[in-house]
Amino acid sequence: MLLFPWLYELLGSSNDKLPDTSGNDYTGVYEGFTLISSTVPWGGAFSRYCTKFNGINNYIQVAPKATNDSINTDSSFSLMCFAKMDKQGRYGHETEMGTLMWVPSNPSDATLRNKPSAGIWFVPNSSSSASGTMHFAVTQNDASKTMLEVTAPYTRTADIFWFLLDIPFYTGHLEYEWNSFGLTYNNGVLKGYINGALVGTAAGTNVRAYPSTYGMSIGRKDLRGGSFSSSDYRYFCGVMDQIGMEDKALAPSEMLSWHNGVLSPAKIFYVKD
């Protein structure tokens, strides 16, 4: 189990590590963050319990561990997180939203870098629309490296950012509900969840997922071995909390229990541990 129960506590500007409280001792490293992003209480005292992503260069990289394969993708596992997505996205980059969780298959291989071992991301319909599509995907370890995918319509409702001289400060996100997003993979069957409810199923060959040895990227795709733009990475714009990976496929009732158990009521300032 990999679990980051709250993504940032104000421990000082020198603290750039994200602890894993599952006992498996993974560590996430903040990339692209500055003193005006996650290292100050940017949205009031409660904002220190989650991390804000600016949609342009913020992400968290979780390195793999040779002695522990809990973050690896095999025949049965689950990914989960809570998020509030900004309904507009970063100004000038609205259509580039937005990767929540990305477990890369082979980020340096041109045929695989956009086919994650497992991933959850959102694609807006247009730069002027808050609506779009959630994607839940797993790449299988078959001969053709088939990417199973579940898609579901989703509309962003939260106002996260307010821009002054291109510096985002806004506390209004406290008024908006958290949503949870998750996927499970079990012997060739992928299921996608929003707020603990099943939104789709995709079935493939009864094989394991493509083995991942590159850790996990939170807030953007993991792309390597080439020259890439911000739009290629699909940076996340909003706030996230409770990132988790379980080394079994949770049942639908367990996914709902996880959502309800972590988040009650829905309108709270931060997600409880």
The 10s digit of each residue's pLDDT in 114-132 is 999 999 999 999 888 889 9
Q: Which CATH number describes the domain made up of 2-9+14-262?
A: 2.60.120.200
Q: Mean per-residue pLDDT for 43-59?
A: 68
Give the model's pLDDT for residue 169.
Answer: 47
126 or 103, higher pLDDT: 103
Q: Quick check: helix, strand or coil at residue 108?
A: coil
The Cα–Cα gap between 11 and 144 comes to 46
Residue 148 CB-density burial (10 A; 0-12 exposed, 13-18 middle, 19+ buried): buried
- Structure-block tokens of residue 232: 């290629």
Closest listed residue to residue 238, CA positions, set 28, 35, 94, 132? 94
- Residue 86 per-residue DSSP state: B
**Sorting pLDDT into bands at 50, 70 and 90, what band is 151?**
very high
The Cα–Cα gap between 79 and 4 comes to 12
Q: Report whether 73 contacts 104 (CB < 8 A).
A: no
**Sorting pLDDT into bands at 50, 70 and 90, what band is 27?**
low
Render pLDDT for 65-82 as a digit per residue (tens, 0 to 9).
Answer: 655 555 779 999 999 999
Q: Quick check: helix, strand or coil at residue 166?
A: coil
Render pLDDT for 231-272 as a digit per residue (tens, 0 to 9).
Answer: 899 999 888 888 888 889 999 999 998 888 776 544 444 444
Q: Specify the amino acid at residue 27.
A: T
**Sorting pLDDT into bands at 50, 70 and 90, what band is 32?**
low
pLDDT at 154 over 50: yes
Give the model's pLDDT for residue 196.
Answer: 95
Q: Quick check: helix, strand or coil at residue 63?
A: coil
In this prediction the pTM is 0.82
Render pLDDT for 192-204 as a digit per residue (tens, 0 to 9).
Answer: 999 999 999 999 9
177 or 25, higher pLDDT: 177
